[in-house]
Amino acid sequence: MVDIDPSGDIVVKATEITRNDRGEQVASNSETFRVRRQIMRQASASWSVMFDPHGPYREGAKDVFELDEVPIVSFEILLRELHPNTQASHAENISILNVWQLLGLTKKWLLKTAFLNPWFAKWYSSQRYEKIDLDTPEEEYEPTALDVLEQRQLLFPCHRFDHAEGFARATRFLAYHVRGHIEEDNPIEHDDLHLPVFTTRLLNSARFRLGLILSRDLHKVNKTLLKATCKCKGNTLWGYEKELERIGIWPFEDTVSRNSIDGLLQRLEKFNYKVADKSACTQNCQRNYNSIAGDARQRTERYFDGMCLDCMSRTKPKLKDHHSDYWNYNNFREEDGWFRGCRISHKQPSWYYSFMGREEDKNYLLEKDKLRYEYDDLGGF
């Protein structure tokens, strides 16, 4: 027996159910916990009735209760966090699946999750995800499929447990490292546990924007050379495009759809082009193309800091009607900065792709205070 509260007055026997090779449900593990009835009843409306000794159900007067289909590890975390005078819940050896099962229990028994936020922050800090540095634009490793899956599975827990840094890390990681469409992942049988509607759409829009910025900066050269009148422009443009093809960047429309943004940025590190014709003109053709490619890579890798939970919370529709929301957003001022009051520092794109309100309100704020990004400040929208 696990004494969650040594002075507890009831015992809860939890049985975990798994499926065998034939898909049949079987009892795989069980554990008993000593807890306090009053604490359990105060935790949720369903438990208030279930553990009521004077309630409508005879089982409420019992001292021993049996609960089926309960993940033992996650259930113990839940009980320990509910009882203030018990030993602290362990966090180091808990998997992301256990975290999801914990969320499933809160949904099943209608528990609010705010009391679990400190535990989740402790758990997150003990994981390797903490090593993803928000201030480092480029990671120095090639992420595996498991890395991507873990970040997809972290999206909803970080959102539900209000972990701003974790959510920013996950969204930034996925925007730069996923090939194609970004989706969250739910590893348990609770289809109702997912991000708010349109959240992943905003994240995919951010990824798409990264590709546009990289394409725009790389192809400014093309625009200049196509307008040039010198005889050497054709050879110069051909050499530039040939180098982009050599490193796997050109044709851009094909490569950006099959590769991650980070993969393209790593290829740009191999870019090396210098006009071979020494008689080429200096006005249009003799330029530092390596510097142009390097600037394009740097602008792209520093553009997006991830989505901001605080911006999402402030901008989602929450007042009584469209006009009330409009005037609430209208309080945004340029001098407040893009992350004033936010738990993470970020630039304008994170605010833009975290805006959960109406599109016309977002565009009005950008226009009213003339807050559109200039080219030299990482590009506009």
For residue 195, give the DSSP letter.
Answer: P
User: Mean pLDDT of all residues in the chain?
Assistant: 84
For the segment 98-114, the average pLDDT, to the nearest whole number, is 94
Of the two residues 263 and 24, the one the predictor is more confident about is 263
For residue 374, give the DSSP letter.
Answer: P
145-154, 179-188, 324-333, 369-378: which has the minimum mean pLDDT? 369-378
Reported as a pLDDT band with limits 50, 70 and 90, residue 62 is confident
pLDDT in tens, 257-283: 899 999 999 999 999 999 887 777 877
Which of 106-115, 281-290, 321-330 has the highest mean predicted lDDT (pLDDT)? 106-115
Q: Which segments within the chain are labelled E, that is strand?
A: 2-3, 10-19, 25-35, 64-68
For the segment 287-314, the average pLDDT, to the nearest whole number, is 93
pLDDT of 309 strictly over 60: yes
Do 322 and 358 contact (CB within 8 A), yes or no?
Answer: yes
Q: d(Cα 80, Cα 61) in Å, to the nearest integer?
A: 23
pLDDT at position 183 is 94
How many other CB atoms are there within 10 angstroms of residue 135's CB atom? 6
pLDDT of 330 strictly over 80: no
Q: Which of 210, 213, 220, 275 is nearest to 242 (CA)?
A: 275
Reported as a pLDDT band with limits 50, 70 and 90, residue 373 is very low
Do 348 and 302 contact (CB within 8 A), yes or no?
Answer: no
Q: What is the 3-state secondary structure (H, E, C) of 299-315?
A: HHHCCCCCCCHHHHHHH
pTM of the full predicted structure?
0.86
CB-based burial, 321-358: b 16+ in 10 Å, e otherwise: eeeebeebbeebeeeeebbeebebebbbbbbbbbbbbe
Of the two residues 228 and 27, the one the predictor is more confident about is 228
Of the two residues 380 and 230, the one the predictor is more confident about is 230
pLDDT of 168 strictly over 90: yes
Q: d(Cα 282, Cα 205) in Å, to the nearest integer?
A: 39
